[in-house]
Amino acid sequence: MSTIAPQFRLSRFIASLFDIIFWVLLIFSLVGLPIVFIILFYIKMPIVNHQLLTPYLAMTWMADPSRTLPIIKTLLHTTFFHVVAFPGFGFAALLAAATIFVERKFLAKIQLRVGPLYCGKIEGILQLMGDGLKLISKEIIIPAKADKPIFWVGPLLFVGTAGAFVSLIPVAPGWVVANPNVGLLAVFATIGFFPIISVLSAWAANNKWTFIGGLRALHQMIAFEIPLILSLLSIVIMTGTLNLSQIVESQQHYWWIVFAPVSAIVFFICIIAELERVPFDLPEAESEIVAGWLTEFSGMMYGLIQLGTYLKLYAFAGLFTVLFLGGWNGPMVWPAFPADIVTQGITIGPITAKIAGLPLFDQDMLNGTLWFVIKTVGVILLILLPRGVFPRIRIDMLLHTGWYKLIGLSFINIFIALGLLYAGVLGPGGLIQ
């Protein structure tokens, strides 16, 4: 039995295109503009032409770049923008989505496979969107005997904790959502919630496979959190601060990985264990306990946990960059803005228009973001690499590695840091500033 493929008609395509444009404009007019107007009331408006800008005037000045750009620049420096877009959740989610695609292609190249290729013409780039739409459209199935409130809240708590972790990572000078003086302690407090959430979610599913996976996750995370914390004490000793931005600023001339290589190695191994990645993927061992504590999650609930996992991956990679690789520090490669644009405005032919608000970002911010992203992406690739080359280890080997070997190695670099400090090599008045 043969089937006739539907023919492509240009008229239908154009009609559907105009139909989409009509509905987009209608929804934006009825919903988007009122939301923009409400947001303007909660933004500290700039002064333009010696006049305080109000939300009412802002709506009428949208078509004038000299008045629109100051509004945009003010919006970019609000807490709302930092949390939602950059350097907060939006920026981290974008990198997380790219990491999912790169991981699948990266592992496929290692194992001589094709990888995602069926959606899109460029290396299967649209496969990521297809998988996202699949998760959104799939049915969410709740086990009959599950503790439903905890089962529903588990994925939300996981994503929220990952978002809180992301908020502590400084991306560029002055660009961080939360910058407490005890930022490193806040990191330890935040990651301490992940094993609790895993065990609660596993217990709420009322399934033996999920509960076994949850117990494994609890044992694994606790076993590796102790050497993780100890490995960072050497950084605190050498810098004398717990503030992550100040730790980055202390690496303007050299990276701390030079003086704390053992701590960097221990911290990197603990990162892989905290992320439950190969060879430490025992909580989700498919060949042993189905999918571990994720067995009963389906649809977008599973998608939220995956999103939280990759947000956590970005946050750990960013933390490694901040602590050991100098963070945003690097040679100035971003071209400077022309002086006439900064002082006079934009010149088009014989006309010079002085537009307030240019440039939107300063050179240090763009250059710092560039170096931070390059270093973080490199660390992410190193974290992804073991999945393609290492087998899963046994639970007794995992616990022995965390409780004995890594804790002992962590103390080695603590003693090295103390020796460098008291020998006058590092610290205030040291030979190396």
pLDDT in tens, 321-380: 999 999 999 898 877 766 555 555 554 444 445 555 667 788 888 899 999 999 999 999
> Could you tell me the residue range of the domain that residue 418 belongs to?
135-339+378-422
Tens digit of each residue's pLDDT (9 = 90 or more) over 182-227 = 999 999 999 988 888 888 888 888 887 788 888 888 888 888 888 9
Predicted TM-score (pTM) of this structure? 0.82
Residue 307 clears pLDDT 60, i.e. is over it = yes
Given this model, what pLDDT does residue 428 score?
62
Distance in angstroms (rounded) separating the CA atoms of residues 239 and 245: 11
Residue 45 clears pLDDT 80, i.e. is over it = no
Tens digit of each residue's pLDDT (9 = 90 or more) over 93-112 = 999 989 988 888 888 888 87
Strand 51-52 relative to strand 346-348, pairing: unpaired
Identify whether the C-beta of residue 322 lies closer than 8 Å to the C-beta of residue 172: no
Asked if the structure places residue 358 within a domain, the reply is: no
Q: Is 427 left (phi over 0), alpha (psi -120 to 50) or beta?
A: left
Given this model, what pLDDT does residue 81 score?
86
Mapping DSSP onto H, E and C, the string for 177-193 reads CCCCCCHHHHHHHHHCH
The contacts found for 101-104 with CB under 8 angstroms, 24 or more apart, are: 101/125, 101/127, 101/128, 102/380, 102/381, 102/384, 103/384, 103/387
Runs of H (alpha helix) within 296-404: 299-324, 339-343, 363-384, 386-389, 395-400
Asked if the structure places residue 45 within a domain, the reply is: no
Asked if the structure places residue 122 within a domain, the reply is: no
Given this model, what pLDDT does residue 348 score?
45
Identify whether the C-beta of residue 374 lies closer than 8 Å to the C-beta of residue 192: no
Asked if the structure places residue 252 within a domain, the reply is: yes
Q: How many CA atoms lie within 13 A of 27 on its CB side?
A: 6
Given this model, what pLDDT does residue 342 score?
53
Asked if the structure places residue 298 within a domain, the reply is: yes
Distance in angstroms (rounded) separating the CA atoms of residues 105 and 113: 9
Asked if the structure places residue 233 within a domain, the reply is: yes
Asked if the structure places residue 163 within a domain, the reply is: yes
Asked if the structure places residue 431 within a domain, the reply is: no
Percent of the chain with pLDDT over 70: 85
What is the domain count for the chain? 1
Given this model, what pLDDT does residue 352 score?
47
Given this model, what pLDDT does residue 176 score?
93
Q: Which of 15-19, 37-41, 157-161, 182-186 has the lowest mean pLDDT?
A: 37-41
The arithmetic mean of pLDDT across residues 386-413, rounded, is 83
